[in-house]
Amino acid sequence: MSLRTTLTRSLRASSARQPIAPSTRVLARSFSKPTNSVLSAEDEEKSRAAYEKHRLEVEPKLASVDEHFTFQEPKKWKNDDPGHDVVGPGHGKHTKRTLASLSMDGKVCVVTGAARGLGNMMARTFVESGASSIAIVDLNKADAEAAAKDLADWFVKHGEAEEGEIHAVGYGCDVANEDSVKSTFSQIESEFGGRIDSLVSAAGIVENFVAHEYPTDKVKKLMDVNVMGSWYCALEAAKRMPEGGSIVLVGSMSGSVVNVPQPQTPYNFSKAAVRHMARSLAVEWAKQNIRVNCLSPGYTLTNLTKVILDNNPVLRDEWLHRIPMGRLADPSDLKGTVVLLGSDASKYITGAEIVVDGGYTCL
Ligand SMILES: NC(=O)c1ccc[n+]([C@@H]2O[C@H](COP(=O)([O-])OP(=O)(O)OC[C@H]3O[C@@H](n4cnc5c(N)ncnc54)[C@H](O)[C@@H]3O)[C@@H](O)[C@H]2O)c1
């Protein structure tokens, strides 16, 4: 079925049944067909069916989490190591010549969405790269505090830190709520001596509905978290960067390309907004030496995506076939980029987007 036919049918169906209510009946036919699919027609159909089955069985909730899955990170990573190796080649404390400006030593770092997932890995990476002051911001206070304690304990146990050396504090904050963000950044300011050097805004959510069935309140919620959340946090961080600093907004390759087969238009346009927010703020704040960049990951293998893909081998193959490097990113693949953008090593980089996607957006 051509995209035009799909859209025409979809529009006809929708106008025939106003108002549009979420239903399972019309969803299966609503994916637009990729023009350059690498799968056979039969496998493509299987991919759509497998994804649809997953999507219908697992009603998405806030964040990219659904209650059917237990998010096991960080405890289930190999060697009790949450995407964060500090031993072995290419990892760990480096004692030879290294570009000093890549160090996060002495910097006060704030990471949102840092109780788990990529935000958590990025917070740990800043500490691995020398930071001793780290604010872990996430929706649930207890989760954020537990993540902060876990981080500090981990570096004492595995990262040669002294007891008390890592000043990690967890904050409960809804980034979609301006008052909550303002109050949290005030607390961070008091706790960490009045200034912030580096912010990573990683809190974000994703939900998948076909456009005509996407409940408006959910679209608004997604925009509130992904776009307004980045906006509020960037503003509050910038106020506390009197001599300049780095703001990294986590976007997605979905901000510049359309991923298939999953329908996620609002997520895509939210990330396009984040990407352009970084460029616009970069220009506005350039004279104040506040750099704003966008880090856009491709498909990254968190425990969440792993569980989804293990249950959907056809979907997994569809994703993998579209990645020139032939694999999903490991969270640790983002470490170099976040340190580059967060540190003084990128002191003349602002308004840039670095896409870490194994080549996905080249096609
Ligand atoms: N995992 C991927 O493949 C991938 C790819 C591209 C971009 N991203 C982006 O990376 C970021 C992190 O993704 P992830 O895979 O680690 O997701 P995740 O769901 O594992 O983690 C997101 C974190 O954000 C927190 N959060 C959600 N809503 C919040 C709110 N209103 N206030 C404060 N915290 C909130 C969650 O509690 C969670 O800890 C997101 O912005 C996501 O869009 C992820």
Instruction: For residue range 210-252, list pLDDT tens digits in order.
Output: 999 999 999 999 999 999 999 999 999 999 999 999 999 999 9
Residue 39 clears pLDDT 80, i.e. is over it: no
Residue 334 beta carbon below 6 angstroms from any ligand 1 atom: no
Residue whose CA lies nearest to ligand 1 atom number 18: 117
Helix (H) or strand (E) holding 354: strand 353-356
How far is the C-alpha of 163 from the C-alpha of 157, rounded, in Å? 9
Q: Report the range out of 21-35, 52-66, 152-166 with the highest average pLDDT.
A: 152-166
**324-345 tens-digit pLDDT:** 999 989 888 999 999 999 999 9
Residue 50 beta carbon below 6 angstroms from any ligand 1 atom: no
Report the share of the chain in percent with pLDDT over 90. Answer: 61
**What's this model's pTM, rounded to 2 decimal places?**
0.81
Give 96's contacts (C-beta < 8 A, 6+ positions apart). Answer: none
| Nearest alpha carbon to residue 172 among 163, 183, 157, 161 | 183
Ligand 1 pocket test, candidate residues 138, 223, 268, 361, most atoms within 8 A of CB = 138
Residue whose CA lies nearest to ligand 1 atom number 11: 202
Mean pLDDT of 85-112: 80
Residue 105 clears pLDDT 50, i.e. is over it: yes
pLDDT of residue 90: 54
Residue 250 beta carbon below 6 angstroms from any ligand 1 atom: yes
Residue 335 beta carbon below 6 angstroms from any ligand 1 atom: no
Residue 65 beta carbon below 6 angstroms from any ligand 1 atom: yes
pLDDT of residue 41: 75
Give the position, in ligand 1's atom list, of the atom nearest the Cα of 304: 20
CA 239 and chain centroid, separation: 24
Residue whose CA lies nearest to ligand 1 atom number 32: 174
How far is the C-alpha of 212 from the C-alpha of 48, rounded, in Å? 18
pLDDT of residue 278: 98
pLDDT of residue 306: 72
Residue whose CA lies nearest to ligand 1 atom number 1: 300
| Nearest alpha carbon to residue 238 among 160, 181, 295 | 181
208 alpha carbon – ligand 1 mean position (Å): 15
How far is the C-alpha of 109 from the C-alpha of 299, rounded, in Å? 25
Beta bridge partners of 297: 356
CA distances from 207 to 106, 173, 331, 336 (A): 38, 21, 21, 28
63 alpha carbon – ligand 1 mean position (Å): 6
Residues carrying an active site annotation: 252, 267, 271
7 alpha carbon – ligand 1 mean position (Å): 31
Q: Work out the pLDDT band at 313, boundaries 50, 70, 90.
A: confident
126, two tokens: 């800043």
Residue 290 beta carbon below 6 angstroms from any ligand 1 atom: no
Query: Would you say 330 and 83 are in contact if contact means Cβ atoms under 8 Å apart?
Result: yes
Lowest mean pLDDT among 56-60, 256-260, 349-353: 56-60
Residue bearing the bigger pLDDT, 314 or 147: 147
CA distances from 326 to 51, 135, 300, 312, 316 (A): 20, 35, 12, 17, 11
DSSP string for residues in 159-171: S-PPTTTSEEEEE
Identify the three-state secondary structure at position 133: strand
pLDDT of residue 35: 41
Residue 273 beta carbon below 6 angstroms from any ligand 1 atom: no
Beta bridge partners of 135: 110, 169
**CA count, 13 A, side-chain hemisphere, 324:** 8
Give 210's contacts (C-beta < 8 A, 6+ positions apart). Answer: 10, 26, 27, 30, 31, 263
Q: Work out the pLDDT band at 8, boundaries 50, 70, 90.
A: very low
Report the share of the chain in percent with pLDDT over 70. Answer: 75
Q: What is the mean pLDDT of the chain?
A: 82
Residue 69 clears pLDDT 80, i.e. is over it: no
Lowest mean pLDDT among 36-45, 178-187, 259-268: 36-45
Residue 83 beta carbon below 6 angstroms from any ligand 1 atom: no
203 alpha carbon – ligand 1 mean position (Å): 5
pLDDT of residue 50: 67
Residue 275 beta carbon below 6 angstroms from any ligand 1 atom: no
Report strand pairing: 198-201 vs 133-138.
unpaired
Query: Would you say 26 and 13 are in contact if contact means Cβ atoms under 8 Å apart?
Result: yes
| Nearest alpha carbon to residue 82 among 134, 119, 130, 131 | 119
Ligand 1 pocket test, candidate residues 118, 122, 223, 361, most atoms within 8 A of CB = 118
Residue 117 beta carbon below 6 angstroms from any ligand 1 atom: yes
Residue whose CA lies nearest to ligand 1 atom number 36: 113
117 alpha carbon – ligand 1 mean position (Å): 7
| Nearest alpha carbon to residue 300 among 258, 335, 343 | 335
How far is the C-alpha of 95 from the C-alpha of 102, rounded, in Å? 14
Q: Which residue has the tokens 């081998």?
A: 313
Identify the three-state secondary structure at position 249: strand
Query: Would you say 273 and 249 are in contact if contact means Cβ atoms under 8 Å apart?
Result: no
